[in-house]
Structure 1
């Protein structure tokens, strides 16, 4: 069951600790938690909606610093531990067909042993996966499982984007061998910018997940830490792939500039040859066109060509 996102509450659940959950409305999230050993409430908000902002400031009970972090306009992945909770900012690939892949969407989370408050602006497929698993009774059972599963879903969706970048770069390399290089300058520049943008956020994401594992909050057990470490290793491999893509693009750009330089050198050589042929002719033409005394045929009434031939003794 999905709540109406137009009121600022995208969804809210009381997790039952067995993989299922009970959906909540605005009225429900202000009620006390169920009296259960593993009671956990998840509230997912649309961060720019006025109703969601009012609830955070007036009813959430969060520290003002945490609220500002959840509502910040721009943020990079990070993990910050407070006395009463953990602030975790993560990023996922934007799957909107009209969006650039490097324009990664953000999710911000406030995490305590009994409650998770998350906020986003754009739709995140990883969150939809968790909601579907909860509705099916196969969702996360604890806070640690929730965070580990979210990190895994965000990470695995990065792989197709990286593969697409590698495929596009391979196509450019083949085109470099088959045709003129100049039309590829814009495409190559766009590919490098996308790789750099992804690398910037993915690098921060790895640090945030590593810091969360190292912080060892009480709600993160050993199995959850192992799962987080797996995602850290996976993100590290993605960073290495992006570094390789950037290096290949740099080598390709060098080859592109080399081809353009060779072409320019050939053009300059041809211009030099043409100049060497026509410069003496231009000099002679200019010399005999000068109106000064003493030039052969100047005083003659016969055509200039005849006077010139007579002057040469022809």
Structure 2
């Protein structure tokens, strides 16, 4: 657990947890805690039992905001994309009048990126801290969206150039993750809408207007992932079409080869019959003449097929 006194964006570490209970003359306290720290923090700050239970739960938490006496409990999801899989990490936030507590199970990149933003903006209140944190979380969705778009473009190009059976698994896997992510974006957008519109005593009225900008970004992200979902459907159709074209191409080659060998097979069948009277049967060097004729016939048909672009 790390305790910091924040004043005008300047961090001052402290280890006196009892001092945090009293509102400071200036600034506020930020407590960056682990799950185990909630045992100490809950009785000190009178954190609601259900909120603490949600933090400790092994199940994936839905983004939400709960209003309790003296504090708000907010859950938002940070996103991470490792080229193969999309990860969502819950960020649990307890917002008080003079403090803010962040509780995470894993490391959240946005918390590390937040410090220079707080210093630059000279943040002096916990509600402004919350605003900049949510803003960073939402902005990261755009970054992940761009990487997903690049992956879709590369996958599409690879399918059109070299179709493989593994491409179908990639399409299904990525589409499933996008659909799963879409389900999360809805509740998260509702949380931001609540921060934007609802009368919340612990958030300054002037600051609430800034949440409208974050809400607009959240709507854009949701619409962007709708587009990605449609692109994945188009990509699957392109995969099926590419497979069909490839199968047709193979069948065309096989058909052309069969057509070329049909007259050759007929000739060899005729001269393979056990009759004494077959034209050219007793001709001197007749076998070479026949082989030459068959070669001329096969190459001639091959040339005609190539000229007509059948091969």
Matches within 5 A, 1:260-271: 260-261=243-244
Residue 63 (structure 2) aligns with: 77
List runs of 5+ in structure 2 lacking aligned partners. 259-273, 276-311
Shift of 1:262: 5.5
- The structure richer in helix per residue is 2
Alpha-carbon separation, structure 1, partners of 2:79 and 2:17:
32
The partner residue of 2:53 within 64, 68, 72 is 68
Q: CA 1:69 to 1:100, structure 2 compared with 1: closer, same or farther past 3 Å?
A: farther
| TM superposition score normalised by structure 2 | 0.72
Residue 33 (structure 1) aligns with: 22
Residue 278 (structure 2) aligns with: none
Alpha-carbon separation, structure 2, partners of 1:77 and 1:32:
28
List runs of 5+ in structure 1 lacking aligned partners. 1-8, 275-304, 307-314
Residue 206 (structure 1) aligns with: 189
Q: CA 1:63 to 1:178, structure 2 compared with 1: closer, same or farther past 3 Å?
A: closer
Alpha-carbon separation, structure 2, partners of 1:55 and 1:222:
32
Contact 1:140-1:149 within 8 A present in 2 as well? no
Shift of 1:226: 2.1
Shift of 1:240: 1.1
Establish whether residue 115 from structure 1 lines up as the match of residue 94 from structure 2: no
Residue 9 (structure 2) aligns with: 19
Alpha-carbon separation, structure 1, partners of 2:72 and 2:112:
22
Q: CA 1:101 to 1:265, structure 2 compared with 1: closer, same or farther past 3 Å?
A: closer
Residue 114 (structure 2) aligns with: 130
Alpha-carbon separation, structure 2, partners of 1:28 and 1:161:
37
Shift of 1:58: 3.7
The partner residue of 1:148 within 110, 131, 139 is 131
Matches within 5 A, 1:217-228: 217-228=200-211
Q: May I ask how many residue pairs the two structures share in their alignment?
A: 266
| TM superposition score normalised by structure 1 | 0.71
Establish whether residue 251 from structure 1 lines up as the match of residue 234 from structure 2: yes
